């Protein structure tokens, strides 16, 4: 503790960040939420790329909590929910969680890769298991291409998923 002419100043820490008290004011030195979200997002993507999908799920959840309006956190979270497995091999609860997250991303921003991921989920899980999907995979597939999907975005998606793209190529 330091004495000053107009009061006392103390520096401490709580469970979240440093705290500075002085002159009847309290300052919590925390990073801005968008910085926190970016840090968790980067950690989650790193974990996805290195085969640690289950740990990535938590990072993307923290990023969504810090910055709920960022569609990337929902998209990456949906990818992580599959656990680095083909959708066909993932448990139904993981597929449903991924479906919910990708719809959250679509609610925030309408991107072609989000539609393509949805087509992948519906094709690889529902169609391959001969189950009735919430909507036909062909609808999301066509929507993705209509919105300007590029091969580099597809490659990026399947690199993060760590699986091969089972969807038919468009000629």
Q: Are residues 12 and 96 in the same domain?
A: no
For 24, the domain range is 1-30
Domain count, the chain: 2
Q: Are residues 65 and 125 in the same domain?
A: yes
Work out the pLDDT band at 20, boundaries 50, 70, 90: low
Q: Taking each helix axis as running N to C, give the angle between helix 151-161 and helix 112-121, from 0 to 180 degrees, rounded to the nearest 10.
A: 50
Q: Are residues 57 and 80 in the same domain?
A: yes
pLDDT digits (tens, 9 = 90+) for 157-171: 999 999 999 999 876
pLDDT of residue 148: 96
Q: Residue 166 domain-assigned?
A: no
Is the pLDDT confidence value at 90 over 90?
yes
pLDDT of residue 35: 80
pTM of the model: 0.81
Q: Residue 169 domain-assigned?
A: no
Q: Are residues 24 and 44 in the same domain?
A: no
pLDDT digits (tens, 9 = 90+) for 58-75: 999 999 999 999 999 999
Q: Residue 168 domain-assigned?
A: no
Q: Are residues 137 and 110 in the same domain?
A: yes
């Amino acid at each position: 503790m330091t004495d000053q002419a107009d009061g006392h100043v103390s520096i401490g820490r709580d469970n979240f960040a440093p705290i500075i008290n002085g002159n009847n004011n309290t300052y919590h030195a925390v990073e801005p939420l968008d910085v926190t979200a970016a840090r968790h997002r980067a950690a989650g993507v790193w974990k996805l790329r290195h085969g640690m999908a289950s740990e990535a799920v938590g990072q993307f959840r923290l990023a969504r909590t810090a910055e709920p309006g960022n569609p990337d956190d929902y998209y990456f979270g949906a990818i992580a929910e599959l656990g680095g497995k083909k959708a066909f091999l993932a448990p139904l609860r993981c597929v449903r969680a991924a479906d919910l997250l990708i719809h959250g991303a679509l609610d925030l921003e309408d991107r072609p890769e989000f539609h393509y991921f949805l087509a992948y989920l519906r094709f690889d899980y529902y169609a391959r298991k001969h189950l009735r999907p919430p909507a036909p995979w062909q609808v999301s597939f066509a929507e993705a291409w209509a919105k300007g999907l590029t091969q580099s975005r597809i490659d990026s998606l399947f690199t993060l998923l760590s699986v091969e793209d089972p969807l038919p190529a468009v000629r």
